[in-house]
């Protein structure tokens, strides 16, 4: 499942971070990497971007970026 | 005896409280400038402590040291090239895992580094316990707990920093990030290769260089080409060979695998040093966000805040602006009465004092706006504003944070362009600066009011609204156009931290506000002043012009002709005559003024370029008025007043009547409004663009682009209108 398909207040584990180039590396460097747990805190009022909690801090990603991230174990 | 100098650099993530610590250490003894060649801000502070003169450098806040963003390159280059005596990494203790990513990278850089576990109190209330001794041992760095906003632990931090700087300890080879077997193998092979094959010297630590080559780091590769002599190509080839091997082995780029492994290493450290008690905490920040980024009330509250900021900046700011204006006028009048009439007086009054006045008149706006922006930033609301607005701004190819500067543009473009500092990506900043002038600033409003009020009567409001709307639409089109051409490239990734809400420190807010004011006065004031003097000179010269008639003689003649009548007239008639006489004199003075501005250099330029304005339906008087608008847009109206009205009354009614009886039509008035909306920004804004883009290139580009666009749009309005039958 893609991260962008998750609903608010769901938790999941990241399986793969796709995309390429600097953007992908930047996402990884912020701690959004394979094996990390990720929690969908909320979608912005206009449904984009998404607020996530990862490694204990809040971070936002655009939906198109979140669509590159595969997750499983969605709860 | 001079005390010893030491340089200390502060590194750390954004929102780690770095700036608070910097402000606490240095107080107001700060110097704000730019890093050489770029528009990223450089802050330095000086303090004498424990018998040392300390130079504290506040490095840009970064999450990593990969050379993607300017901030990261600056930070890395500073540590590598300038070699500060100590680097203090400010770590948000409540956010340890992610903060350690930068920390491990600094560790790899081979500099003397010291960790400040900041916001130790926040971490504690969140039930986190950090074993500082263990952390210190595992990474082999001194660790100090600090609470920046309470000024706790800062002295210990400096003491330890000095101790570290003075220690001769060798940077240990161990205790760094260990990568997996294959990568370590490649690193050590490459290290050996580097040692054997470099003729010149590798400027940096060998292991670090090897790691960066495996990561395909562009900047390090360039330096190798410059420094490593004739074998540099071989080195790069060897590095590429190892990269290819690793790509094959891991089925992914080495830099990605290494990022993964660094976090793996960090995870190991976290397990040993961090214990989190399970007590359920109330997260105030999340509760605040339940409201502030709420689906329904998030936007209304945002607009309320923005409205309040706008009102404070421009409505409250109008009072001190008035006082400043009044003060300047008072000074002018005073000097006018005491100085003899000559060229110097004219220069002083109409050039210099007007110029200085037009510089400091912006100061209240700038101070208030930046106080508000600092408030937004320091509380953490700025990133929420970006979170809310990003979807909309992304349509123009911009970041959510661009909204605030663009909106401020409706008030005044000078503080608006300075406010683009909040944008991290340089491309976003440049693009925002280029399109902000299309947000019609408040100084253009009087021009619209006169023109629309004269020619559109009851529907003036709608016309003015359409002009504003046209500005917004053209900024969107321009934004999209530039995004796909000259400022192409991936949008800045929106991987944006939403830091916890914090109570701002008033000291930080004031320092931030004053920094902006100082930059404005120092760096832009001079340019604006010089520009005002030039504009004055263009209007004041040539001195000895040939008037069509001898006004002085004529004035005397008029006066004389009344004298005879007045001596014979009785009291009520006398007053009437006096009034009539004054009116006649005023009319002559006005004609003289009109002729003077017509024959001045500015007027001549206006007439020379008048043919350019003809297709827009604007006559030479309009073009002179537009030209003088470069000093400040308000001047367009007063120049039109001088040129069109040959009447004694200088009020807007007179100008309206004069305009109605001139060649101007509703259509050409519309074209002129469109031109005023878009054409080159005022002098102060141009100075701001130069300053904030850091280049003359962008300044000229902005001036040329906006003026061309203005001409094309006004042309389409006028000629298109004529084609479809308006006049």
The nearest alpha carbon in chain B to A62 belongs to B494
Chain A residues lying within 8 Å of B64, measured CB to CB: 26, 29
8 Å CB contact of A45 and B296: yes
pLDDT exceeds cutoff 60 at B279: no
B423 φψ region: left (φ > 0), alpha (ψ -120 to 50), beta (else): beta
Look at B63 and A25 and tell me if their CB atoms are within 8 Å.
Answer: no
Q: Kindly determine whether residue A24 and residue B295, on different chains, have CB atoms separated by under 8 Å.
A: no
Asked if B295 and A45 come within 8 Å (Cβ–Cβ), the reply is: yes
Distance to chain A for B693, nearest Cα, Å? 24
pLDDT at residue B471, rounded to an integer: 92
Q: Which of A21, A31, A49 faces B390 most closely, judged by CB atoms?
A: A49
pLDDT level of residue B170 (50, 70, 90 thresholds):
low
Closest approach of chain B CAs to the CA of A3, in angstroms? Answer: 14
Are A25 and B392 inside 8 Å of each other by CB? no
Say how far apart CA B348 and CA B328 lie, in whole Å.
12
Give the minimum alpha-carbon distance from A59 to chain B in angstroms, rounded to a whole number: 4
End-to-end CA distance of chain B: 82
Q: Residue A24: closest CA among chain B residues belongs to which residue?
A: B256
Q: Indicate whether B637 pLDDT > 90.
A: no
CB contacts of A62 in chain B (<8 Å) are: 390, 394, 494
In a mutational test of the B interface, the residue from A18, A32, A33, A46 whose CB has the highest number of chain B CBs within 10 Å is A46
Cβ neighbours of B392 in A, within 8 Å? 46
Between A and B, how many CB-CB pairs are < 8 A?
108
Mean pLDDT value across residues B187-197: 85
Is pLDDT of B648 > 70? no
Q: Considering chain A, what is the average pLDDT of its residues?
A: 91
Q: Which residue has the higher pLDDT, B587 or B294?
A: B294
- Residue B519 confidence class, pLDDT cut points 50, 70, 90: confident
| Residue at a domain's end among B117, B136, B166 | B166
Cβ atoms of A65 and A2 within 8 Å: the answer is no
Residue B465, in any domain of the structure: no
Q: Are B292 and B376 in contact (CB under 8 A)?
A: no
ipTM of the modeled complex:
0.95
Do B70 and B145 lie in a common domain?
Answer: yes
Residue in chain B nearest A41 by alpha carbon: B286
pLDDT > 90 in chain B, percent: 27
For B423-481, what is the HEC assignment? CCCHHHHHHHHHHHHHCCCHHHHHHHHHHHHHHHHHHHHHHHHHHHHHHHHHHHHHHHH
With CA atoms as reference, the chain A residue closest to B491 would be A23
Q: Which tokens is B45 given?
A: 């502070």
Between chains, do A65 and B293 touch, taking CB under 8 Å as contact? no
- Identify whether residues B43 and B127 lie together within a single domain: yes
Q: What is the DSSP letter of B171?
A: P
Identify whether residues B136 and B48 lie together within a single domain.
yes
Q: B126 and B55 in one domain?
A: yes
- For residue B79, the distance in angstroms to the closest alpha carbon of chain A comes to 20
Rounded to the nearest angstrom, the minimum Cα separation between B181 and chain A is: 20
Domain contains B84 = yes
Same domain for B130 and B17, yes or no, is yes
Min Cα distance A54 → chain B (Å) is 9
Q: Indicate whether B205 and B146 sit together in one domain.
A: no
For residue B30, what pLDDT is reported? Answer: 81
Two structure tokens written together for B717: 């309005």
**B275: which chain A residues are within 8 Å (Cβ-Cβ)?**
none
Does B141 lie in the same domain as B11? Answer: yes
pLDDT at A67 (0 to 100): 93
Indicate which of B16, B494, B499 best probes the interface with A, i.e. most A CBs within 10 Å of its own CB: B494
Is residue B260 situated within a structural domain?
A: yes
Which of these three, B166, B189, B209, is where a domain ends? B166
Pairwise CB contact (< 8 Å): B493 & A22: yes
How confident is the model over B23-27, as a mean pLDDT? 88
B597, pLDDT greater than 80: no
Indicate which CATH number applies to the domain containing B80. Answer: 3.40.50.300
In a domain? residue B586: no
Q: B259, B384, B492: which to substitute to probe chain A, counting the most A Cβ within 10 Å? A: B259
Which domains are delineated in chain A? 3-72 (2.30.30.90)
Which of these, B460, B464, B455, B520, lies nearest to B685 by C-alpha position? B520
Residue B475 has pLDDT above 50, yes or no: yes
- Asked whether the predicted pLDDT for residue B1 surpasses 50, the reply is no
Mean local confidence (pLDDT), B14-41: 82
User: Which of A26, A31, A34 lies at the smallest CB-CB distance from B98?
Assistant: A31
Within this chain, do residues B26 and B97 fall inside the same structural domain, yes or no? yes
Query: Apex CA B201: angle with CA B197 and CA B207, to 5°?
Result: 75
Same domain for B162 and B59: yes
Mean pLDDT for B714-727 is 87
Q: Domains in chain B: how many in total?
A: 2
Tell which residue, B168, B157, B145, B170, has the closest CA to residue B54: B157
Query: What pLDDT is attached to residue B485?
Result: 87
Evaluate whether residue B266 is within a structural domain.
yes
Is B223 among the domain residues? Answer: yes
Chain A residues in contact with B490 by the CB 8 A cut-off are 21-23
Which of B178-192, B324-338, B533-547, B701-715 is least confident?
A: B533-547
Question: Are residues A30 and B495, on separate chains, in Cβ contact within 8 Å?
Answer: yes
Q: Domain range spanning residue B103? A: 4-166
Residue B258: give its domain's CATH number.
1.10.287.1770
> B240 with B142, same domain?
no
Residue B530 distance to chain A (closest CA, Å) = 44
Could you give the maximum distance between any two Cα atoms of chain B, in Å? Answer: 116
Q: Nearest-CA neighbor of B499 among B659, B283, B183? A: B283
Q: Which residues of A touch B (CB under 8 A)?
A: 21-34, 41-42, 44-49, 51, 55-62, 65
- Identify which of B151-160, B195-204, B453-462 has the greatest average pLDDT: B151-160
Residue B652 inside a domain? The answer is no
Rounded to a whole number of angstroms, the distance from the CA of B489 to the nearest CA of chain A is: 11
pLDDT of A51 strictly over 90: yes
Q: Which residues of A touch B95 (CB under 8 A)?
A: 55-57
Residue B47, pLDDT > 70, answer yes
**H helices within B315-439, ranges in order?**
318-338, 343-346, 354-360, 363-379, 381-395, 403-408, 413-418, 426-435
Edge-to-edge strands, sheet with B113-118 = B30-34, B41-49, B52-58, B4-12, B86-92, B113-118, B143-145
Query: Does residue B92 sit in the same domain as residue B49?
Result: yes
Which is nearest to B302 in space by CA: A6, A65, A45? A45
A62, B66: Cβ pair inside 8 Å? no
At B432 the pLDDT is 92
CB pair distance less than 8 Å for A42 and B394: no
Minimum-distance CB partner of A23 among B263, B294, B490: B490
Which residue is closest to A28 within chain B, CA to CA? B259
Contact criterion met (CB < 8 Å) for A61 and B495: yes
Asked if pLDDT for residue B387 goes beyond 90, the answer is yes
From chain A, the residues in CB contact with B256 under 8 A are: 24-25, 28
Is residue B195 located within the same domain as residue B157? no
Candidates B255, B286, B493; nearest CB to A65:
B493
Residue B42 exposed, middle or buried by CB count within 10 Å (0-12, 13-18, 19+): middle
Residue A48, min C-alpha distance to chain B (Å): 6
- Residues B495, A55: C-beta atoms closer than 8 Å: no
CA distance A15 to chain B (A): 13
Q: Are B212 and B159 in contact (CB under 8 A)?
A: no
Distance of residue B68 Cα from the nearest chain A Cα, in angstroms: 7
Considering only CB atoms, B95 lies closest to which of A21, A26, A57, namely A57
Q: Does residue B217 fall inside a structural domain? A: yes
- Mean pLDDT score across all residues of chain B: 85
Among A21, A27, A55, the residue with its CB nearest the CB of B495 is A27
Q: Return the number of other C-beta atoms located less than 10 Å from residue B481's C-beta.
A: 13
């Amino acid at each position: 499942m893609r991260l962008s398909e998750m609903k608010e207040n769901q938790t999941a584990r990241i399986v793969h971070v796709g995309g390429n180039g600097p953007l992908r590396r930047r996402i990884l460097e912020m701690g959004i990497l394979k094996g990390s747990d990720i929690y969908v805190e909320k979608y912005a009022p206009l449904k984009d971007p998404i607020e996530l909690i990862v490694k204990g801090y809040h971070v936002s990603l655009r939906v198109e970026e979140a669509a590159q991230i595969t997750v499983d174990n969605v709860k | 005896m001079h005390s010893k100098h030491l340089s200390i650099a502060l590194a750390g993530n954004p929102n780690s409280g770095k700036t608070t610590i910097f402000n606490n250490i240095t107080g107001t003894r700060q110097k704000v400038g730019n890093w050489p060649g770029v528009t990223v801000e450089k802050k330095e502070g000086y303090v004498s402590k424990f018998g040392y003169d300390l130079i504290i450098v506040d490095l840009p806040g970064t999450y990593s040291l990969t050379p993607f963003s300017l901030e990261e390159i600056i930070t890395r280059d500073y540590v590598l090239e300038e070699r500060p005596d100590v680097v203090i990494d400010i770590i948000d203790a409540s956010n340890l895992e992610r903060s350690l990513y930068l920390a491990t990278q600094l560790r790899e850089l081979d500099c003397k580094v010291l960790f400040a576990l900041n916001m130790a109190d926040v971490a504690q209330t969140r039930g986190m316990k950090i074993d500082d001794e263990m952390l210190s041992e595992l990474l082999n760095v001194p660790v100090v707990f600090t609470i920046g906003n309470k000024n706790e632990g800062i002295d210990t931090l400096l003491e330890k920093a000095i101790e570290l700087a003075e220690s001769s300890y060798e940077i240990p080879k161990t205790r760094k990030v260990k990568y997996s077997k294959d990568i370590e193998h490649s690193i050590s092979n490459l290290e050996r290769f580097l040692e054997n094959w470099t003729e010149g010297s590798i400027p940096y630590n060998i292991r670090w260089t090897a790691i960066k080559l495996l990561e395909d780091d562009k900047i390090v590769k360039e330096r190798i080409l410059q420094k490593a002599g004739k074998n540099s190509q071989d080195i790069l080839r060897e590095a590429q060979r190892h990269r290819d091997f690793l790509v094959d082995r891991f089925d992914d780029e080495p830099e990605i695998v290494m990022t993964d492994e660094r976090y793996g290493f960090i995870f190991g450290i976290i397990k040993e040093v961090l214990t989190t008690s399970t007590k359920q905490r109330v997260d105030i920040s999340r509760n605040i966000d339940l409201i502030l980024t709420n689906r329904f009330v998030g936007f209304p509250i945002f607009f309320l805040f923005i409205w309040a900021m706008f009102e404070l900046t421009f409505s409250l700011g109008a009072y001190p602006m008035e006082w400043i204006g009044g003060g300047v006028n008072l000074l002018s009048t005073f000097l006018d009465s005491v100085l003899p009439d000559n060229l110097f007086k004219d220069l002083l009054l109409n050039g210099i004092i007007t110029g200085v006045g037009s510089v400091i008149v912006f100061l209240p706006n700038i101070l208030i706006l930046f106080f508000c922006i600092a408030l937004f930033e320091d509380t953490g609301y700025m990133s929420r504003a970006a979170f809310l607005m990003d979807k909309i701004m992304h349509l123009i190819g911009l970041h959510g944070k661009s909204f605030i500067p663009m909106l401020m543009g409706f008030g005044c473009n000078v503080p608006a362009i300075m406010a683009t500092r909040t944008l991290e990506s340089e491309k976003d900043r440049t693009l925002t600066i280029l399109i902000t002038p299309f947000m019609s600033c408040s100084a253009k409003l009087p021009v619209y009011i006169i023109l629309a009020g004269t020619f559109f009567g009851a529907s003036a409001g709608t016309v003015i609204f359409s002009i504003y709307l046209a500005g917004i639409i053209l900024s969107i089109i321009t934004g999209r156009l530039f995004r796909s051409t000259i400022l192409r490239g991936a949008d800045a990734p929106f991987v944006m931290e939403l830091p916890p809400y914090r109570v701002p420190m008033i000291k930080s807010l004031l320092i931030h506000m004053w920094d902006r004011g100082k930059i404005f006065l120092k760096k832009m004031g001079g340019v604006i002043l010089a520009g005002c003097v030039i504009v004055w000179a263009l209007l004041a010269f040539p001195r000895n012009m040939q008037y069509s008639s001898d006004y002085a003689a004529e004035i005397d003649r008029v006066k004389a002709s009344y004298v005879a009548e007045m001596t014979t007239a009785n009291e009520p008639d006398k007053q009437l005559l006096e009034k009539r006489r004054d009116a006649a004199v005023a009319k002559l003075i006005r004609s003289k003024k009109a002729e003077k501005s017509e024959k001045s250099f500015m007027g001549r330029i206006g007439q020379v370029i008048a043919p350019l304005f003809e297709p827009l339906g604007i006559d030479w008087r309009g073009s002179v008025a537009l030209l003088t608008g470069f000093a400040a847009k308000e001047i367009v109206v007063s120049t039109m007043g001088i040129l069109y009205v040959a009447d004694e009354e200088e009020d807007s009614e007179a100008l309206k009547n004069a305009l109605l009886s001139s060649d101007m039509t509703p259509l050409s008035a519309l074209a002129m409004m469109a031109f005023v909306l878009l054409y080159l920004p005022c002098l102060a804004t141009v100075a701001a663009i130069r300053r904030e883009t850091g280049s003359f290139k962008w300044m000229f580009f902005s001036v040329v682009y906006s003026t061309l666009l203005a001409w094309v749009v006004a042309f389409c309005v006028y000629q298109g209108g004529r084609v479809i039958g308006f006049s």
